Every structure is written in C-alpha cells, then in structure tokens.
Amino acid sequence: MTEWFRPAGSTARDGYDLVVRPGEQDWHHTGLTIRTLQPGQSVEFDTEDCEYLVLPLSGSAEVVVDGETVPLAGRADVFAGPTDLAYVPRGTRVAVVSADGARIAFPHAKAAGDYPFRRLGTEQVETELRGAGVSSRQVRNFGTPAVLEADSIIACEVLTPAGNWSSYPPHKHDEHKPGEESVLEEIYYFEMQLSAEAPEDVEGNDPIGYQRVYGTDDRPIDVLAEVRNGDLVLVPHGWHGPAMAPPGYDMYYLNVMAGPGSEREWLISDDPQHGWVRKLWDSQQLDPRLPFGTQ
C-alpha cells in the first residue's frame, strides 16, 4: 500500500469493507465507504457535513430518511447494468436495510448547500459511449451535474472492455482556470471480471488491471498500481490515466469527485504530450462489445 493506493481490505473498519473520508491527511473533499449487508441486515449513520449517494453495487435495499422510505431495486453486479440510487443531504440520519443482502457504496463529499432526499431511477442514468478503438469505454452518468442536482459531489461509473485503455488520454483537474479546468479530488474504486471471450474452464483466477497517476513538474506524484477487485486509487492532483484493462479482463471503476470551487463542474486538461490521440478516434470504430448489459 502507498499513500494513494489502497488495496482491498486495507481500509476496512467499523463493519465497512472500505472507508475513505474527507479530513484524512492531504485529503479534503471526497469520500467513499462500502458496506456488505447480509439478508435482513441494516446500517444507520449521520451524514454530518457531507452529502451522500446510496449506490447498490449488487443486490437491492431500502433507504429510510425521516420516516420516508425509497426502494432501490439494485442489480446483480456492476457489469449487469445501471442501478437506481438515492441522494441524501448533509445533516441527515439515514438507514439502509436489505431484505436479501446487498453490497452498497456510499460516495460522499463535503457540502455547503442543502438538496432534498430523493430516489433517482435507472431511466435517469445517462449512458455515454466514449472514445473509439482500444480507447472505447462506457460511462454511466448518474451523479454528474447534467443529471444530478447537488452541491458538490460528481460521480459516475466507467466500464472498459478487456484490452482497452480508459481515462485516456491522461488528464488532470487540479488548477482553477475558468471555463477550462476545475479543481477536483478524485477517487477510483475498481472491480474486475473475466471477459466474455474467456474459455468456460477458466476459474479461480485473480483478475487484474492497472492505473497510472503522475505529477506535474511543481507537484510530483507517482502511482502505477496493479488493481484488483475492491482496490482504490486516490488522485489528489496530477495527470491520471490510463486505466488499463488487460486482455481477458473487463474493468469497472467508480469515480467520485469534489473540490473547493463554488461552481460544481468537471473541466479537464489533457496532458499536452498525449492529447493528440483524441484525433485518432475520428477514423476508428466504437468497440462492438459496448454497451455492457442493461439487465
């Protein structure tokens, strides 16, 4: 484990599989917790000064706030399709219960404003097919500014077919440049699966992928992580990408972003050494394996 790479289980505590919260050293705005609920089990907590999303990774649940209950049908797993989710404002007591068992992610971020508790259905999740050729990937925009009204949190899911490069070309968002770049911390949470091309007799293996983060001249950072199911990479600043899915293994990652700016916006700058690769997409086809399943 390094300061910015957190292997699965390394941050588990208080009944959670994974815990990263704003307020850690050199980490200020974003958080993510993940909880596995056994059938009939529940979890209850206060959101305090953060706004939260309740996002089923697998299974279904109910979310209760101030006597109001919203059901989340969920999904079989993160590759099966998008999920419905709930938004919970700061300063709120929330309970989540699962009758049949579930694994729930709780992306959150420091918030200065209040928005109502509500459910967002799968029909509100915008699916974007981004890139082309071996840079093809699928983005589920459930928590981006165009989809979700919120104070600071920005979140999405990215699915990358085996052999493709995602988060590419490398980009950053760590300087305030109005209309060009916004300051955002970012969390990458990974899950992997065998691709559809794998032989039926392949089993018991350990799917892997790779994530790269590197710094600018004045702000060094150096991460090259071999990522597996449940691993986490934090991006406090610097260029990040590619996220690489090796042949044979599909990659999923959950992104959670927030920053200190008064405007909730995701504006990026490409690494000038590599930004030119976007021009290649004009002459390439989208990967025919996309989109992944929609249940």
The pTM (predicted TM-score) of the whole model is 0.97
Q: Per CATH, is 5-281 categorized as 2.60.120.10?
A: yes
Residue 45: count of CB within 10 angstroms of its CB: 17
Asked whether the predicted pLDDT for residue 202 surpasses 90, the reply is no
- Percent of the chain at pLDDT exceeding 90: 93
Give the residue, 87 or 198, on which the prediction is more confident. 87
pLDDT of residue 146: 96
When the pLDDT of each residue in the chain is averaged and rounded to a whole number, the result is 96
- At residue 1 the predicted structure's pLDDT band, cuts being 50, 70 and 90, is very low
Question: Strand, coil or helix: what is 195?
Answer: coil
pLDDT value of position 200: 85
With cut-offs at 50, 70 and 90, classify the pLDDT of residue 73.
Answer: very high
pLDDT greater than 50 at residue 270: yes
- Radius of gyration, CA atoms only, the chain: 18
Structure confidence at residue 203 (pLDDT):
76
Task: Assess contact for 250 and 192: CB atoms under 8 A.
Answer: yes
pLDDT at 294: 61
